[in-house]
Amino acid sequence: MNRRNFLACTALTPLFANDLMANANDIYLDRDEWALLTSVNARIKRVKKHVGFANFNLISFKDTLFYARNYSSIGAFTKKEIAFLDKLFYEDPKQYGFYGEKTCFDIKNIVKIKEVQKIPYTGHYVFKGKALEDYTKLKQDVGDTLILTSGVRNVVKQLSLYVNKIYNTRGNMTKASESIAPPAHSYHTISDFDVGRKGWGYKNFTADFASTQEFNEMMKLDYIGMRYNKNNSDGVRFEPWHVEVI
């Protein structure tokens, strides 16, 4: 591409030019939406800082708006920002190539503290019932090197991950929804949880996790499933760390 065409192209799609991993058919936010995305991403991070990591996993949308309105260190969400978050929650992500089921139907979804169990030293929660039973058994069967890396995520937490992923992909909705479930479509909101190997850090969220002893042991267990296998029909990347509660 000559310089003149390159400039014309960047003027139309300033975000696309920066993303070498993008495909030609990928869908991007438009300029106004990109501006909204950057402002909500920063504001949601301020909410997280205010309420703390563990509480942020459970906080409702209503409480998020309340804190933002009442603390000048966060600042109230504008009407346009709220409408944008609403759109991200309620729109159909099939347009971006995400075919997973809808798991949550109300942006104001509430997770009650009595429904969940906080797991010490993790900052995460697991739903009481089958999920907690599975997690407890997993620790016994695989051993103490198996750790909880993400548990219950209410809508705002999932929104925050999604928004931040869209930010990191420079507005590429197709790429973002391949690696993080859109906010109304996460099984973390109703049951599932992620595990990893102690000391492995970010590698726990890569395909490398499938090469660990912990993963090998997990594969022998019949009381859990793997939600996102290789080439799953949901259009989600391979996630060996994501435990399906069955």
| Per-residue tokens: 126 | 């697991």
Per DSSP bridges, beta strands 224-226 and 116-119 are: unpaired
Q: Residue 68 or 226: which CB sits closer to Zn ion?
A: 226
Q: What is the DSSP string of 121-166?
A: TTTEEEETTHHHHHHHHHHHHH-TTEEEEE----HHHHHHHHHHHH
Determine the residue with CB nearest Zn ion: 242
Binding piece for Zn ion, criterion CB under 5 A, among 44-52, 66-74, 113-121, 194-202? 194-202
Per CB under 5 A, does 194 bind Zn ion?
yes
**Residues touching Zn ion: how many (CB under 5 A)?**
2
Mark residues 226-245: x for contact with Zn ion by CB under 5 A, - for none: ----------------x---
Burial of 67 (0-12, 13-18, 19+ CB in 10 A): middle
DSSP 240: T
Question: What's the min distance (Å) between Cβ of 194 and Zn ion?
Answer: 4
Question: What's the min distance (Å) between Cβ of 157 and Zn ion?
Answer: 12
Per CB under 5 A, does 134 bind Zn ion?
no
Q: Residue 175 or 242: which CB sits closer to Zn ion?
A: 242
CB 16: neighbour CB atoms within 10 A? 16
Per CB under 5 A, does 170 bind Zn ion?
no
Q: Residue 185 or 242: which CB sits closer to Zn ion?
A: 242
Per CB under 5 A, does 185 bind Zn ion?
no
| Of 237, 194, 185, residue with least CA distance to 215 | 194
- Which positions lie near Zn ion, rule CB under 5 A? 194, 242
